[in-house]
Amino acid sequence: MDLKNYQLSEYEEYLLERTGTENVAFNDGMVYVTYHSGNNSTELMKSNDDEFVTLCINSKDRARSIQAHSDDDNSEWLDNIRFPVDSTEIDEFEKMFYEHNPDIEPQQKNNPLSGCKVTLPLGEALFEFVYADFDSLYKEVKVSLRMYEDIDLPNADNEMQDMINRYQIYRNYKWLINHLAFGSTASALFPPAITQDADLAAAMLDYYKYLIMLQKEYRDILEFCFESKYYSEVLGDMTASARYYLYRKINNMPPFVEFNEGRRLIMGDKKSPLNYDFSAFADFAQEHDIDVATLIYFHNYNHNPVLRYRCESLHEFLELELCKLIEYKVNLKCCERCGQWFTYKGNYDARYCNRIHLGELRSCRDLAAEENYKLKMEKNEALPIYRKYYRRYSARVKVNQIKKNDFKKWKYEALVKRDECSAGNITPEEYIDWLEDCFPNRKRKDK
């Protein structure tokens, strides 16, 4: 086959566009994704396989060359993640590594999320990404570009040197990269890799365009697959799954999506405490060449196999998240207050999301309930009428013109009449006449 004359298909060009450019690579990460259907949650773990590779090579003097900026504070980036971040495993890994390598000075991780787990509701990573404000973040990056100078790196004459150079580039441009990447949890887990000898400004522009491209793509897909009003006369009675594959057909994509998946044994619930036959445990451990403590650990906890996916790019993860929303038949709606997609259970009428937006202290659901109540009260003519007469008659109670028991009885009846007036069963004028006649020993004022 003559590859010189080979023409890429539309779908191949689509995939190539999401791989990267001469200045930056978009598929340089590795995140392990586990879905828990019981509570519809997504567990994301950023791989730390490469985090200490450069420190574990034989020539440690060479490895120390990347320890510049060891005082970087990763907490500022982790604070941008709105969902729980569990660093237990990576913390234990780092502790063990430095105990076995006392001559290596402890340093911050290259990527703030390396080895960490982030758990969030299914779909939230996708929704957060499509509504992230990358425009504002990129404007700040453009202003800061002039502060950075290109660094001179040795040529990567072997794979290990290429890896060291890549980390060196990341560390030198960490603020620029993370400032855009940490605009959402999903993009933070898949930061770009700037290539050696790249035009830094062009690399950041390419990355920004990549993020905006994916945002538009998945906003369109969500509307096509889940929006009930979108061509309702054609798509209204189609399932989200059917609409998704129709979307792929229209856009000349294959009718299948492949993901890198595998089974992993994970720790489950702790068993009830039992009395051990320690001699039997010791004999078993010796025969099978295993530590007794490890044997007891496996004995005390249930371990279950789970399906785990390996994603190497942001685009791959977003596609996986979308497919799981469809597979689990999750109900989606646009919030009537903020206009963003959210999931809901099918046993109640959901109009507002439970998401707390930047600059607010309560969710759309809580804020909408308060706003709707205020609006209802503003339109309720019966409420100010009731308050007026309540103040009048309670003042007469204080000077003994009305007995407390009579006032208590009146209050109950006045509330019932107020609700009747609010419901439109009696007019405001009829309500006022009734209130005036309750205690007729006081001459009525002219209207």
pLDDT for residue 68: 43
Amino acid letter at 299? H
Q: Give whole-number Cα distances, 20 to 16, 195, 203, in Å.
A: 7, 10, 10
pLDDT for residue 62: 41
The strand pair at 331-334 and 31-36 is best described as unpaired
State yes or no: pLDDT of 262 exceeds 60: yes
In tens, the pLDDT along 45-67 reads 998 876 665 555 433 444 444 44
Which residue did the predictor score with more confidence, 178 or 295?
178
Look at 7-16, 21-30, 276-285, 361-370 and tell me which has the smallest mean pLDDT. Answer: 361-370
pLDDT for residue 447: 45
Q: Give whole-number Cα distances, 197 to 153, 161, 194, 200, in Å.
A: 8, 15, 9, 9
Q: What is the mean pLDDT of residues 295-309?
A: 80
Task: Single out the residue of 183, 235, 240 nearest to residue 207, CA to CA.
Answer: 183
pLDDT for residue 422: 82
In tens, the pLDDT along 211-258 reads 999 999 999 999 999 999 999 999 999 999 999 999 999 999 998 888
The contacts found for 172-179 with CB under 8 angstroms, 24 or more apart, are: 172/68, 172/69, 172/148, 173/148, 173/200, 174/69, 174/72, 175/144, 176/141, 176/144, 176/145, 176/148, 176/200, 176/204, 177/207, 178/77, 178/112, 179/137, 179/140, 179/141, 179/144
In tens, the pLDDT along 178-209 reads 999 999 999 999 999 998 888 999 999 999 99
Q: What is the mean pLDDT of residues 373-399?
A: 80
Domain residue ranges of the chain, discontinuous segments joined by +: 9-250, 380-438
Which residue did the predictor score with more confidence, 265 or 205?
205
Which residue did the predictor score with more confidence, 345 or 65?
345
pLDDT for residue 205: 96
Output the average pLDDT for the chain. Answer: 83
CB count within 10 Å of CB 17 equals 14
Q: Which helix (H) or strand (E) holds 269?
A: strand 260-270
Which residue did the predictor score with more confidence, 253 or 97?
253
The string of DSSP codes covering 379-432 is H-THHHHHHHHHHHHHHHHHTTSS-HHHHHHHHHHHHHHHHHHHTTSS-HHHHH
State yes or no: pLDDT of 166 exceeds 80: no
pLDDT for residue 23: 93
Instruction: Report the distance separating Cα 56 and Cα 254, nearest Å.
Output: 43
Share of residues in the chain with pLDDT > 90 (%): 35
State yes or no: pLDDT of 127 exceeds 70: yes
Q: Where are the alpha helices (DSSP H) in 251-381?
A: 278-287, 292-300, 314-327, 364-379
